[in-house]
Structure 1
């Protein structure tokens, strides 16, 4: 487990902050706002992606990549937090088991999101059936990541678990679920626009 935590702490996914000729910050932000309106949490979506405006520049591909990167970083942070909670002294047995189960599902979520970012990198050099294959992988993995996050959240549902441990964890997981839900919506949007030929690479 210590090796996995170390790996997650040193694994950093970055996006190049490049500019595109003819693009302006206001145009990029307008694109982000318009895209985020297709998500379940548009305000959160804009807040999370505004710092990536310089690299997104109206690109559906870069938008999806930024959204998954945000999800990945927050999921990784939640995993590290859960790992620390599992070592807190005085934690109740039922809380400890719920935390351990959550760590397992969040580990899977981190892996799925990491794979999604890598797959999006490959998609920049593909088209046709190759693109569809990579896109299908991304959609599947981001969807799987969200499913695992929801499983973690459900582990703390009900009245049998109450108190600061539950509150601190559920708030973090709820945020992560919302961010990942937004990422999945933007990935699906990218796929639809690409198939219609209206996307910007």
Structure 2
């Protein structure tokens, strides 16, 4: 029996239906953890940096806003500690004599080191506080979240104060100040991102 145009159309339709169905299922699949992080980072001031820092946490974070904020805090605390150690080494090299002793710039670096130490302490406390928050919607959750927001905001202020002190000082050791500033700018940006992700926890599921 010779195939008619109608028969050929029906056969071709049957052939393509499974393909179209499969494509539709793939398109409607749930977003990946990486997509979740990417979408969440759009709410931050430095989204590219946010994605770069948090991509490695995708498996642990999955689709949890709280886990993502906690990971961002951990990144911020780690970078703040590393920056503090760097500034400490630069301001007190081997030999016991500060590289900036006797210079006006030494005071700016020491002030920066002091405020950075405060920032590290507040970020550490925030990291610990995140573990005590309890279930969303409870008074415990709101209390601990408020503490985290306050401390991360204060840490960001410390980092900004450090940058201001370095910018206002116009004395020697400009190369050292530039390197310190570069480190602190990075810390301030990841802290800003962490604060944005923490703030998103209000009124959102865990």
TM over 0.5: yes
Distance 1:145 1:90, change over 3 A: closer
Matching of residue 50 in structure 1 with residue 55 in structure 2: yes
Aligned: 1:108 with 2:113: no
Q: Distance in 2 between matches of 1:26 and 1:94?
A: 54
What does residue 23 of structure 2 align with?
none
**Runs of 5+ consecutive residues of structure 2 not aligned to the other structure:** 1-28
1 CA distance for matches of 2:181 and 2:132?
34
The residue that corresponds to 1:29 in the other structure is: 34
TM-score (norm 1): 0.80
- The answer to whether the 8 A contact 1:119-1:137 is kept is yes
CA RMSD of aligned residues (A): 1.9
1:91 is displaced (CA, Å) by 2.7
Q: How many residues align?
A: 172
8 Å CA contact 1:70, 1:179 repeated in 2: yes
After superposition, the Cα gap between the structure-2 partners of 1:60 and 1:48, relative to the gap in structure 1 and judged at 3 Å, is same
* Equivalence for 2:184: 173
Separation in 2 of the partners of 1:65 and 1:120?
Answer: 7
Unaligned runs of 5+ in 1: 1-23
Q: Does the CA-based 8 Å contact 2:112-2:166 persist in structure 1?
A: no
Q: Is the 8 A contact 1:25 1:54 kept in 2?
A: no
TM-score by length of 2: 0.78
Shift of 1:124: 3.9
Kept in 2: contact 1:139–1:184 (CA 8 A): yes
Corresponding position: 1:185 with 2:190: no
**Is 1:149 matched up with 2:152?**
no
> Which position in structure 2 is the counterpart of 1:74?
79
Counterpart-to-counterpart distance in 2, 1:165 and 1:178: 20
- The structure whose Rg is larger is 2
User: In structure 2, do the counterparts of structure 1 residues 100 and 159 end up closer, same or farther at CA, with 3 Å as the change threshold?
Assistant: closer
